[in-house]
Structure 1
Amino acid sequence: MFRLTVQDVFFIKGRGLVATGRVEGGEIRVGDEVRINGARAVAVEAVEQFRRKVDEAVVGDNVGLLFSGLDRSDLSPGDVLTSGAVEPASGGVEVSL
């Protein structure tokens, strides 16, 4: 399962929105679909490492993922991109006062 916490987001005119971060789990390839915070699905248009286009990225790689069709407001630092079977971060908590 792919997982990346977005560190920064910027827009490239004529190309789209780029999310940067370190791959925390799994791998990602051009054309793969990822979910933003487990909800909205979007396809990865390009994967770049240090201004070099690559076909895939694996755990530990610092990457920029390019998405077209997203607005700047659709993605923010701290958002989590995932693909594959998504496990909940927590089973929940029960609180009584």
Structure 2
Amino acid sequence: MFRLTVQDVFVIKNRGLVATGRVEQGQIAVGDEVRINGTRAVAIDAIESFRKKVDEAVEGDNVGLLFSRFGRGDLSPGDVLTTGAVEPASGGVEMRL
């Protein structure tokens, strides 16, 4: 499973929104879908690392992820990008009164 906490966000005119951060877990490639805070899914259009376009990023890489379908306000610093199935927080609750 991939995980990245967004550190900064900026817009590149006529390209889209870029989210920067360090890959905390797993790996990601151009075209892969990520979930924002476990909900909305969107595909990655490009990845940059140290001002060079790359096809994938792995744990420990500092990257910028480009999302052409996003605009200002769709992502914020602190948002968490992940891949994989969304696990429920709980399978149920048992109570006694």
User: C-alpha separation between the residues in 2 aligned to 1:29 and 1:22?
Assistant: 14
Distance in structure 1 (CA, Å) of the matches to 2:71 and 2:11: 9
Residue 61 of structure 1 aligns with an amino acid whose one-letter code is D
Counterpart of 2:94 in structure 1 is none
Tell me what 1:47 maps to. 47
* 1:64-79 equivalent positions in 2, closer than 5 A: 64-79=64-79
Query: What SS is found at the alignment partner of 1:85?
Result: coil
Q: What is aligned with 1:60?
A: 60
How many percent identity over aligned positions? Answer: 79
Structure 2 residue ranges without an equivalent (≥5): 91-97
Deviation for aligned residue 1:69? 1.3
Q: Provide the C-alpha distance between the structure 2 equivalents of 1:12 and 1:66, rounded to a whole number of angstroms.
A: 9
What amino acid maps onto 2:68 in structure 1? Answer: S
Correspondence for 1:15: 15
Superposition TM-score, scaled by structure 2 size: 0.87
List alignment gaps of at least 5 residues for structure 1. 92-97
Give, in angstroms, the shift of residue 72 of structure 1: 1.1
Deviation, structure 1 residue 84: 1.2
1:84 equivalent in structure 2: 84
Superimposed CA distance per residue, residues 47-85 of structure 1 (whole angstroms, 9 cap, x where no aligned partner): 100110000000000000000111211100000000013
Letter in 2 for 1:70: F
- Count matched residues: 90
Q: State the alpha-carbon separation in 2 of the partners of residues 20 and 31 from structure 1.
A: 17
Q: TM-score, normalised by structure 1?
A: 0.87
Counterpart code for 2:36: I
